[in-house]
Chain A
Amino acid sequence: MNLSTPGTGGAASRVDAAPQDAYNLPLPFGLHRLTQALNALGTLMIIGLMLLINADIVGRTGFDAPVRGVTELVSLSIVGIVFLQLADTLRCGRFTRADMLLDGLKRDRPVLAARLQALYHLLGALLMAVILWAAWPSLTESIASREYVGALGDFTAPVWPVRLMMLVGLSVTALTFVLLAVIDLQRGQRLAAKREHKR
């Protein structure tokens, strides 16, 4: 019979025994300020989308004057938003994952848990690096070919700013993954030292 709130037991014991993970901590070299700034830029774009779509609706129905290119801008900017905010989302520990195994480890083998987390964060950095490697030319190509969305004579918008946002976002996220791994390893060291000390 499950009478209690699921996970409360875990949460309670985590407070005294298990160490916190690396999320929500300030990053070395104050780099969390960078992730937050990128995040704020993405946030402003979300407000922009809301205003843009509402302006289009009002213009179209009230004044026979739709805002041109809303469809194109919406589909383009969502990509920019996601990559701009990716690093901060990661830093705040919002990347979805199953915590079953890790929660157990944090209780019973905290040092191992910290090192495993470091490994996972390095794998995340690896994924970012792979995408970054292949996505790099898209920016130069986009600028060189003057890539645009929309149609000539009606509405056009250049694509390169979004490509740039994607590359910046990927780089900063890769860096964040690495720094999180560093924090994990430091925590692992500290826990190992404490364990030695207790003996």
Chain B
Amino acid sequence: MQITHDTVRDVARLARLAVSEAEAHALAPQLSAIISYAEQLQSVDLTEVPPTSHPLALMNVFRADEPRPSLPREVALAQAPDSDGGQVRVPAVLEG
């Protein structure tokens, strides 16, 4: 699978990474090499094999619906780069 530099740019956009033209050209062959290496999995017949999402066969792990203390607000917001009146502030989310 050849990953073109256009694909690199599309994927970067999806991942919210800014990639320059030069970086996209450098990344395309690197990502292609990794994906090509992974393609050896295509040669194995896996039709009847169930996937392993969890190494442990655990099921039904729950907590009870009981309140636990929340963080004090000043602690919750202490690491925020920008906040205002107890809320986190970001550039306008454009609804358009």
Partners in one complex: no
